[in-house]
Amino acid sequence: MQARRPTRPIYVGNEKTGIVQVGGGLPDSRGRKTTPAPVSVQTMTAGYTHDVDKCVAEIHKLHAAGADVVRVAVPEKKDTEALKEILNQTSVPIVADVHFHFKRALEAVEAGIHKIRLNPGNINDRDQVNAVIDACKERGIPIRVGVNEGSIIERRDKRKRMEELGRYFSDHKHGHLLAIMIAKLEEYLDIFHERDFHDVVISAKSMDPTLVIDAYTEISRRWDYPLHLGVTHAGPKETGTIRSVVALGTLLANGIGDTVRISYASDPVFEVEDAIEMLCCLGLRERVGAELIACPTCGRIQVDLFSLVDEVRKILSKDIDLPMKVAVMGCVVNGPGEAEGADVAVFAGDRRGIIYVQGERVATVPEEEILERLLAECRAFQDKVRRGEARLGEKNVAIIPPDPIGDLGSGMELIKQGRVQTLTVGRTT
Ligand code: SF4
């Protein structure tokens, strides 16, 4: 992991919502010293903004899922007219996503919005951009300049622009697109610089993760504004998550990126959950709640592990607040080694499971009782930690694999084949 790239910070929100700092490490626009803020997570509502009740309910849901900032689309005047009431009823910083009509930005500012997103691909009249900058400057509202590969390319003169800029970045896979994105940002940011406006965040999204990595890497070398990372139009959840995490994870590991939005065609609550999991995996956020370790299963499996893991995951997310490690392993052959760091673990066998708490075997139960007993042990262990009688990650006794014949009745084939050396190294209780 590379150290975070220092940027000028921006601040989103107010006393009521709490202020989310994005970026940092360089002096802010008032010349104050800053340190980098944790990488924040944002997402966007999927419903109509003018449907106030539904929009507010969706914002509450996304905030509860862990979104630090929520964006809403304001394509029509009736959407900006709804903002005042939405802001009254919510307590998370809200961003107005503005395309095509600069007046929507002015109306959103008037309503008290906490941040504006402008698209240089469709609001580029200098006077209109200046009007938005002036309104935001007066109220201390930051602006995201968000170029999207799909909307910045001037379709009418695409060929001409590609010829003009084709020599730049010619060694990159998408050199001409990268050149157009950077050129567009340079032109657009000049307007902001002329107005001495620096409460700016930049994004440069594409559906191609390699272009996203190249674009943000190049931008991070040219400007010291914080970066909002995202892959756009990433597709359905299954592939969209991977596209997003490949690009955003690579950039974050290189120290690039200050706020993230994972986006795909599904419920935005999942986007928030995936973004938080990505940050936890990269060590950029403290985990809240249990971390589930599970084996992928193989030909040695003798219980319905997928259903078990699914159930365990659902209940742990509700019942466990402490970042304990819980392992659900399909057998005793590799399970104990893989689950070594777990606080609570189960190793399944022939329709049975052996449960350990911090390395100590506490029970052997039939398959149908594994879920209930494992969760009971997790809850009891959480209570013990809360009472100060145990500490997370402190394994008292090494996890000893049970006898694959005597305890679980599995592994006979492996033993016959000579692939398991140690037969009896533990006893059931
Ligand atoms: S723990 Fe056992 S069942 Fe699961 S993948 Fe490893 S060897 Fe296969």
Q: Is the pLDDT of residue 417 over 70?
A: no
Residue 157 has a pLDDT of 59
Taking all residues of the chain, what is their mean pLDDT, rounded to a whole number? 88
**How many other C-beta atoms are found inside a 10 Å radius of the C-beta of residue 223?**
17
Q: Give the pLDDT confidence score for residue 159 in this predicted structure.
A: 65
Strands 18-22 and 10-14: antiparallel
Q: Does the pLDDT value for residue 399 go beyond 90?
A: no
What six digits make up the tokens of 244?
Answer: 């997003």
Mean pLDDT of 283-308: 91
Ligand 1 contact via 329 beta carbon (within 6 Å)? yes
**Per-residue pLDDT, 331:** 84
Other beta carbons within 10 angstroms of residue 412's beta carbon come to 12
Nearest CA to ligand 1 atom 2: 331
Q: Which of these ranges, 160-174, 193-207, 254-268, has the smallest mean pLDDT? A: 160-174
> Which pLDDT does position 158 carry in this prediction?
63
Q: Is the pLDDT assigned to residue 131 strictly greater than 90?
A: yes
Greater model confidence, 409 or 340: 340
pLDDT in tens, 322-380: 999 999 998 877 667 767 779 999 998 888 898 999 988 899 999 999 999 999 999 99
- Does any ligand 1 atom lie closer than 6 A to the CB of residue 294? no
**Helix or strand run (H / E) with residue 363:** strand 360-366
Amino acid letter, 324: M
* pLDDT score recorded for residue 35: 97
The Cα 106–Cα 81 span in angstroms is 11
Ligand 1 centroid to residue 298 C-alpha, Å: 6
Query: What is the mean pLDDT of the segment spanning 78-99?
Result: 97
Tell me if 342 CB under 6 Å of ligand 1.
no
Atom 6 (ligand 1): residue with closest C-alpha? Answer: 334
Tell me what the mean pLDDT of segment 78-94 comes to: 98
| Ligand 1 binding pocket includes 300 (Cβ within 6 Å) | yes
pLDDT band at 84 (very low <50, low <70, confident <90, very high): very high
Asked if residue 396 has pLDDT above 80, the reply is no
Probe ligand 1: pick from 331, 346, 347, 413, max atoms within 8 Å of CB? 331
Residue type, 306: F
Segment among 36-40, 43-47, 187-191, 408-412 with least mean pLDDT:
408-412
What confidence score (pLDDT) does residue 429 get? Answer: 28
Cβ-count burial of 358 within 10 angstroms (0-12 exposed, 13-18 middle, 19+ buried)? Answer: buried
Pocket test for ligand 1, best of 293, 295, 354 (most atoms within 8 A of CB): 295
Q: What are phi and psi of 306, to 5 degrees?
A: -60, -45
Bridge-partner residues for 201, per DSSP? 144
In what side-by-side order are the strands of the sheet with 143-148?
A: 200-205, 143-148, 115-118, 94-98, 69-73, 40-44, 259-261, 228-230
Which ligand 1 atom is the nearest neighbour of the CA of 301? 3
Q: What is the pLDDT of residue 350?
A: 80
From the list 271, 244, 320, the residue with the least C-alpha distance to 62 is 271
- Cα–Cα dist 251/203, whole Å: 13
- Give whole-number Cα distances, 257 to 106, 139, 182, 423, in Å: 28, 26, 17, 50
Q: Which of 209, 212, 171, 229 lies closest to 41 in space, CA to CA?
A: 229
Please say whether the beta carbons of 253 and 245 come within 8 A.
no
Percent of the chain with pLDDT over 70: 85
